Each structure stands twice: as structure tokens, then as C-alpha cells.
Amino acid sequence: MKESLMDVICCPLDKATLELEVDEADDEEVLAGTLTCTECGETYPIEDGIPNLLPPDMREEAAA
């Protein structure tokens, strides 16, 4: 994800601002990291350049 995505995303639970922590990035994009809600503290992973912003109870749903 590009850092500009931060302008349009928020916590899916309470719509509060997210804080970006970058673990891995290239010139253009964040490839791995964590998004943390500044209000409720819930965390959302960024893996392979894709943030997973599903609420936690939908994240683990196994559909194959």
C-alpha cells in the first residue's frame, strides 16, 4: 500500500484514525507493517503490501 492510502482508511470498528508502523517498504510502498487504531487500540496487519482491515471477528473466518 502507498502511504497516501492513510488519507482514506480508518478503523472499521469505531472509524477513528489509524497509526502506521512500517516494518518493510520499498521506494513506493509499504510492504509489511501494522495499522493501530488510535482510539480502541485494535491492530490490523499489512502483509505483502495489502492491509487487512477486516474487523477481528471476520479476519479468521475460514472459507476456502
Does position 51 interact with another protein (CB under 8 A)? The reply is: yes
> Amino acid letter at 64?
A
Does position 32 interact with another protein (CB under 8 A)? The reply is: no
Does position 1 interact with another protein (CB under 8 A)? The reply is: yes
User: How far apart (Å, rounded) are the C-alpha atoms in residues 55 and 42?
Assistant: 9
**Between 2 and 23, CB nearer to another protein:** 2
Burial of 35 (0-12, 13-18, 19+ CB in 10 A): buried
Does position 2 interact with another protein (CB under 8 A)? The reply is: yes
Q: How many residues bind another protein (CB under 8 A)?
A: 23
Q: Kindly list the distances between the CA atom of residue 26 and the CA atoms of 22, 38, 42, 53, in Å, as whole numbers in the listed order.
A: 11, 25, 26, 21
| Footprint of another protein (CB under 8 A) | 1-2, 4-5, 7-12, 15, 44, 48-55, 58, 63-64
